[in-house]
Structure 1
Amino acid sequence: MARIATAIVQAEPVPLDITGGIAALVDHVKAAADGGATVIAFGETFLGGYPIWLDEAPGAALWDHPGSKALHRILLDQAIQQDDERLAPLQELVDQRGLIVSVGAHERVRSSLVNTQFLFRPGQPPLPHRKLVPTHGERLIWARGDGSTLGVHETDWGHVGHLICWEHWMPLARAAMHNQREAVHVAAWPTVRDTYAIASRHYAFEGRCFVLAAGTVLHRDALLDGLERCGGNPDARALIEEIPSDQLQFGGSMIVAPNADILAEAGGRAETIHAELDLDLIGQGLASLDTDGHYARHDVFELRVNRAEQAGVVFED
């Protein structure tokens, strides 16, 4: 009977200052690992923080807004890039302790920002998943991902994968992930609201897997502090100060079993929750429901996934 110790670190990110956020991330991972966890999850764009001003600051979405442009420039400068040396301390910790860590970040792909969830695993480069469809106002800041990052990490006890936020309402994305037989799935959210909790529990039941629904907490003062850590900007500060509320993200993280039972649940403040996962529950649940197998009709329905990277420009000699 295999049991896996997991944790969700529901912490406040270091907004905008991704370099500082990586240092804090390493400390959080050490603490969770010291608490016994080997699979550790963080919420959506923990590195850099969720661009909450697009939802909360009046006028942030207006064309050519100087504050929004200033914040975009900061994130471009700070964003994770391919083979980013700043991530070496985290990778070393993962290698030394045999950990699996899922963390969201702003990633720079050429000249665009992408919402990426990175899966760090021992002895291998991080496995990225780039959000397929930024939701609503997020399209003002993030480009779209493609099928090349729709994968899972294979361990000796099962597969680990993740999706980001409203991707959990993309039925075909769910079907593609279920086909890859996840044992543990990280559902990354900014806040795990009631409907997001429903989506996370539904995913666990539908996919017959454990789900780590990871949220974060965020306060306006932390956002202002992060701005100053990145050199400050009067236009960006004015935009953030227009946000009327102090607390902007409210956690709500939960760890869910394959039958949709909640094994551990967080409140609205910074905390780390733990749960030991009994992997035998997966096989027991598959007796009644395997949405990619005996409960599927492959003679009626067929899904094709394009795993090719969409570079847009192809240079040929």
Structure 2
Amino acid sequence: MQAKVRVAAVQAESAWLDLDAGIDKVIALIEGAAAGGARLVAFPETFVPGYPWWIWLDSPAAGMPFVPRYAANSMTRDGAEMERVRQAAARNGIHVVLGFSERAGGSLYMAQAFVSETGELTSVRRKLKPTHVERSVFGEGDGSDLQVHDTALGKVGALNCWEHLQPLTKYAMYSLGEQIHAAAWPGFSVYRGAARALGPEVNTAASLMYAVEGQTFVVAPCGVIGAAARELFCDTELKRDLLLTGGGFARIFGPEGSPLAEPLPETDEGILYADLDPALIAIAKSAADPVGHYSRPDVLRLLVNRNPMPRVVEVPADPPAAAPEELAVEEFPSALPAS
């Protein structure tokens, strides 16, 4: 980072299971963030077409009616919907980190797209390990999804949700020199009061700790549960008790732990802004750089495999086999005397 930069974190409700409406909302938020002076805007986890909350509320069998609709409204990385996002980024001159459900063949992945201010799709990464019941919907990424990108703003990376509770994943990201980190969350209103690990206290602390551990700015967008979500996912009183209205806890933190944006009420939709001063990174790292002077590689080191792991690997064709008569001459020379 060479200069101060303004960033934006989205706190909003998805257009649930509606791909076209979801992209319309993404574009409106991109335009709003750019109008607010932001040069980067980050979106919640699987903002398009929305987080599949049914997986936390009932049995897998009861959730089957959602599956075809969710798959049909998930986005490909090379389709018309991504092209619309790219055009919006270019039109508004803003970097975008978009959380979406990626459809690839017959599988879905919890993905984050990096789109540059010129509209280039820099990359798409996938969540390395979907959490708990998420594994009933989504596949997992590989080491190639540990990514930090050089941009005009600085080195930008991203992770999803409880990837921020995986120590080795975090350390691998810190080692890449990340300066601006998008920490995407789906919302914190499920099991409120019964599962503290899923709530705002723990997970907001995870974003804060990521900033302090890695000495990076953390832009933490967060989803909101509104009336539309409860209408869609909650057909019983018990489900309404399990998935409450609200859950929006977007935050922006500095590399030494300072809160840089005034939070919104958890039920409100909006955009948080902060101006990031790169001098704070130098100050934070002077005290504790976990992959530099504050490390002990003689005691502890991390082994990382960043290679992509394709499902199908084509074996090279064998060389043409020799003709039978050639083999006979070669392997069984004639015993007759030479004439």
How many angstroms apart in 2 are the aligned matches of 1:160 and 1:177?
10
Q: 1:24-173 maps to which residues of 2 (within 5 A)?
A: 24-55=25-56, 57=57, 60-62=58-60, 64-65=61-62, 68-123=63-118, 124-173=120-169
Q: Which residue of 1 aligns with 2:4?
A: 3
**Matched length:** 298
Asked if 1 retains the 8 angstrom alpha-carbon contact of 2:34 and 2:93, the reply is no
* 1:266 alignment partner, one of 248, 264, 267: 264
Asked if 1 retains the 8 angstrom alpha-carbon contact of 2:234 and 2:240, the reply is no
- Is 1:184–2:184 an aligned residue pair? no
**Cα deviation code 1:148-197 (max 9, x no counterpart):** 11111211342000110110111110011101111110111112511011
Asked if 2 retains the 8 angstrom alpha-carbon contact of 1:44 and 1:104, the reply is yes
How many angstroms apart in 2 are the aligned matches of 1:84 and 1:137?
28
Structure 1 residue 222 displacement after superposition: 4.1
SS for the counterpart of 1:218 is coil
SS for the counterpart of 1:200 is helix
Structure 1 residue 247 displacement after superposition: 4.1
- Whichever residue aligns with residue 120 of structure 1, its letter is V
Structure 1 residue 30 displacement after superposition: 0.2
Identity %: 34
- Is 1:253–2:277 an aligned residue pair? no
The structure richer in strand per residue is 1
Q: Which residue of 2 aligns with 1:216?
A: 223
Structure 1 residue 110 displacement after superposition: 2.1
How many angstroms apart in 2 are the aligned matches of 1:303 and 1:61?
38
Further displaced range: 103-112 or 299-308? 299-308
Higher relative contact order (CA 8 A, sep 6+): 1
SS for the counterpart of 2:114 is strand
How many angstroms apart in 2 are the aligned matches of 1:221 and 1:26?
20
The gaps in structure 2 that reach 5 residues or longer are: 189-199, 318-339
SS for the counterpart of 1:287 is helix
Q: 1:187-206 maps to which residues of 2 (within 5 A)?
A: 187-191=183-187, 193-206=200-213
Asked if 2 retains the 8 angstrom alpha-carbon contact of 1:185 and 1:212, the reply is yes
Asked if 2 retains the 8 angstrom alpha-carbon contact of 1:190 and 1:249, the reply is no
**Cα deviation code 1:110-168 (max 9, x no counterpart):** 21111111121134224222111111111111111111111112113420001101101
**Cα deviation code 1:63-117 (max 9, x no counterpart):** x33xx12211112112111311212222112123331111211111221111111
Asked if 2 retains the 8 angstrom alpha-carbon contact of 1:95 and 1:122, the reply is yes
TM-score by length of 2: 0.83
- Whichever residue aligns with residue 219 of structure 2, its letter is L
- Whichever residue aligns with residue 274 of structure 1, its letter is Y
Asked if 2 retains the 8 angstrom alpha-carbon contact of 1:220 and 1:247, the reply is no
How many angstroms apart in 2 are the aligned matches of 1:209 and 1:106?
26
Further displaced range: 166-175 or 125-134? 125-134
Runs of 4+ in 1 over 6 A off after TM superposition: none
SS for the counterpart of 1:50 is coil
SS for the counterpart of 1:182 is coil
- Whichever residue aligns with residue 46 of structure 1, its letter is F
SS for the counterpart of 1:244 is helix
- Whichever residue aligns with residue 297 of structure 1, its letter is R
Asked if 2 retains the 8 angstrom alpha-carbon contact of 1:205 and 1:260, the reply is yes
Asked if 2 retains the 8 angstrom alpha-carbon contact of 1:7 and 1:274, the reply is yes
